[in-house]
C-alpha cells in the first residue's frame, strides 16, 4: 500500500474532518521522528496515517480499537511492523521497537500542539505562530489540553529524547503540513 492509497482509505473512514486532520498530523510527526532516527519514513508515516482507521467504528468499544484496523488492513499485506506499531498506540502490542514507542508518544502530542495553536493568545491561530517554549508553558498546565496524556507524551524519553527535543520535532513536522491541517 502506498501513501496515496492509505490517504484515500483513511479519508474514507472519517466523517469527522478533525479526526482525519489528526491522523495527518500523526503521520507528519512519525515521518519527522523517522527522519530524526534515520528510519523508514514511509513505514513510519503509514503507521501514523492508518493508526486510527477504526476509531469511529470502535469509539464505544476501546478494547477493539486497532484490532478492527488490523482486520481492515489484512488484505493489503503491509509490513508487520506497521500493524504492530498501530496496535502499540492502544497498548495492544508491547512497545519494544522504536516505531511502536514513537507512535505511542506521537498520538497525544498532536492534540497538545493543535490546542496550543488555537490558544486565544495567538490571534491568527497558526502553527507557525507558536514555538516549543510556548508549548512547554502550556504543557505544565494540567487543565490545558487535558485530553492529551502528559504521561503518554513523556514516554518520548523511551526514544532517548527530552520533552523539548520531542516537541521541537513534532512541531516542525506539523508546521510543514500546516495548510493541510488548516492551521
Q: What is the pLDDT of residue 124?
A: 74
pLDDT above 90 as % of the chain: 87
User: In this structure, what CATH number is given to the domain that contains residue 82?
Assistant: 1.10.3210
Distance separating alpha carbons of residues 54 and 69, to the nearest angstrom: 5
Domain that holds residue 140: 3-178
Q: What is the pLDDT of residue 122?
A: 52
Q: Is 158 a domain residue?
A: yes
Distance separating alpha carbons of residues 71 and 145, to the nearest angstrom: 32
* Contact status, residue 159 vs residue 102, Cβ threshold 8 Å: yes
DSSP 3-state assignment of 57? Answer: helix
Q: What is the pLDDT of residue 112?
A: 96
What Cα–Cα distance (Å) separates residue 12 from each residue in 54, 83, 148? Answer: 11, 19, 25
Q: Is 183 a domain residue?
A: no
The C-alpha cell at 44 is: 513510519
Domain count, the chain: 1
Instruction: State pTM to two decimals.
Output: 0.95
Q: Is 57 a domain residue?
A: yes
Report the pLDDT averaged over residues 136-164.
94
Residue 38: phi and psi, rounded to 5, are 55, 45
pLDDT digits (tens, 9 = 90+) for 73-104: 999 999 999 999 999 998 888 999 999 999 99
What Cα–Cα distance (Å) separates residue 52 from each residue in 48, 103, 115, 132, 156? Answer: 8, 11, 19, 26, 20
Report the pLDDT averaged over residues 54-58.
96
What residue has cell string 506521537?
106
Q: What is the mean pLDDT of the chain?
A: 94
Per-residue confidence band for 121, with pLDDT thresholds at 50, 70 and 90 = low
Q: Is 44 a domain residue?
A: yes
Q: What is the pLDDT of residue 42?
A: 97
Q: Is 145 a domain residue?
A: yes
Amino acid at each position: 500500500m502506498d501513501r496515496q492509497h492509505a490517504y484515500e482509505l483513511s479519508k474514507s473512514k472519517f466523517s469527522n474532518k478533525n479526526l482525519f486532520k489528526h491522523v495527518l498530523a500523526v503521520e507528519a510527526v512519525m515521518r519527522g521522528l523517522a527522519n530524526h532516527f534515520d528510519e523508514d519514513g514511509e513505514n513510519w508515516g503509514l503507521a501514523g496515517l492508518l493508526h486510527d482507521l477504526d476509531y469511529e467504528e470502535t469509539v464505544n468499544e476501546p478494547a477493539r480499537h486497532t484490532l478492527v484496523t488490523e482486520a481492515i488492513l489484512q488484505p493489503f499485506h503491509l509490513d508487520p511492523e506497521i500493524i504492530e506499531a498501530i496496535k502499540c498506540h492502544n497498548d495492544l502490542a508491547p512497545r519494544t521497537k522504536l516505531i511502536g514507542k514513537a507512535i505511542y508518544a506521537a498520538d497525544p502530542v498532536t492534540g497538545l500542539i493543535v490546542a496550543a495553536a488555537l490558544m486565544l493568545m495567538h490571534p491568527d491561530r497558526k502553527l507557525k505562530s507558536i514555538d516549543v517554549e510556548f508549548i512547554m508553558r502550556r504543557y505544565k498546565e494540567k487543565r490545558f489540553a487535558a485530553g492529551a496524556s502528559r504521561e503518554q507524551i513523556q514516554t518520548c524519553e523511551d526514544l532517548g529524547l527530552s520533552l523539548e527535543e520531542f516537541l521541537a520535532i513534532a512541531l516542525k513536522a506539523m508546521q510543514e503540513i500546516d495548510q493541510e491541517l488548516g492551521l
